[in-house]
A = this chain, B = another copy of it.
Amino acid sequence: MSLTVQDIGEQGLLKRVQAFCPSAIVGDDAAVLPITPGQSIVITSDVLVDGVHFSDRTTPPESAGWRAIAANLSDLAAMGASPLGITVGLGLPKTTPVEWVERLYQGMSDCLAEYGGAIIGGDICRSTVITLAITAIGQVDPNHVIQRSTAQPGDAILVTGNHGSSRAGLEMLLNNDTAPERASLVRAHQYPIPRFDIPTISTRVSGMDSSDGLADAILQICRMSKVGANVDRASVPIDPALKQWVSEEQAIEWALYGGEDFELVLCLPFEQAERWLKQVKGAAIVGKITADPIVQLIDSGEARSLNLDQGFQHFSNH
C-alpha cells in the first residue's frame, strides 16, 4: 500500500510540497513579489470545497461567496497590503442552479464593494463537487510588510477583535438555533470582516490573521520569530452573547481553537499597542512576547502550555 495524504496529514504534505517552492517567499499569509523599489505585490490563494468549507446548511450562497472573499482579503490585511483584485476559479456540477451561482457572485461582490478590490478574472469548469478557488492580489510598501518572523521579546500581543464567535455561530447554524440575542455569532460566521482598519504602520509590527484559530496564530508567530508568549486567558475578547450562552471553558476553547474569526494577531511595542487600542474598534492586548520559546496560557495565575493538536487538521478523520 502506498502512503496516502491521510497518512501524513496536511502539515506532512505541506512540508513535502514546499520542497518544490523557493523557501524565502513561502511561510506568511501571502507571498510577496517585489515589483519596484517602492512597491511589492502580495498574492494569496484558497481552495474551498462544498461540504468541507461551506454548505447550504450553514451558509447560503451569498455567505459562501462573502466568506471566500473575506478570508483572502484577511490574508492581504495580515500582510499590511491593500487589495488590487481577485480571480475566481469555479468548478461546478452540471446540475448546479444558475441562481446559486449568481447568489455566490453577489456575496463576493458585496464583500469586495465594502473592502476593496474587484473580480478581474477567473475560470469556470465542470466538476463533481462545487469548488471555489480564490486568488487575491494586493499591493504593499516593501518597508511595511507584516511578517510572522519579526516578533521580539517584550512586544504586546494585540488582537483586533472577538474570538470564538465564528465557531459558536457555526454551532448555532448546525443546531437550527435562531435565538435573536445570539444573532451576532451567526453573523460572525456567515459574514466575517477583513480587518483593513489598523492604523498606518510607523512601527515594527509582526503578525498574521487568526483564520486557523487564535492559538494557532500565536504559535506560528512564536515559531517563526523564535520567541515565546504569555497569553492572559481573561484578556481574550469574547462576545458577551457567547459568554452568556456557554460555559467559560467552552467559550475560551472556541476562542483559542475555533478558527475563522479572521481577526489580526499583531505583535508590537507596548506603547504603540496601547495607542492602537484606542484607534482599532474591538482591539485588546491579550499577552506578551517572551524570550523563552514556550507559549503559555496564563489562567488565574496558573500557566499551562497551549496545545496545537486541537487546531485545524484538514485531512484528519474527525
Interface size for chain A: under 10, 10 to 19, 20 to 34, or 35 or more residues?
Answer: 35 or more
**A47 and B133 contact, CB distance less than 8 A:** yes
Known contacts A119-B20, A120-B21; A131 and B47 CB within 8 A of each other:
yes
Whether, in the assembled complex, A174 has its beta carbon less than 8 Å from a beta carbon of chain B, the answer is no
Q: How many copies does the complex hold?
A: 2
Choose among B5, B31, B84, B88 the residue that contacts A87 (Cβ–Cβ < 8 A).
B31
**B129 and A128 contact, CB distance less than 8 A:** yes
**A25 and B120 contact, CB distance less than 8 A:** yes
**A94 and B5 contact, CB distance less than 8 A:** yes
Known contacts A20-B106, A49-B91, A127-B129; A43 and B3 CB within 8 A of each other:
no
Contact partners of A99 in chain B: CB under 8 A: 2-3
**A135 and B45 contact, CB distance less than 8 A:** yes
Known contacts A4-B98, A5-B101; A89 and B120 CB within 8 A of each other:
no
**A20 and B128 contact, CB distance less than 8 A:** no
Whether, in the assembled complex, A95 has its beta carbon less than 8 Å from a beta carbon of chain B, the answer is yes
Q: Which residues in A have some Cβ–Cβ distance to B below 8 Å?
A: 2-8, 10, 13-14, 16-17, 19-22, 25-26, 30-31, 33, 35-36, 39, 41, 43-49, 51-53, 84-85, 87-99, 101-102, 105-106, 108-109, 118-129, 131, 133, 135, 137, 139, 314-315
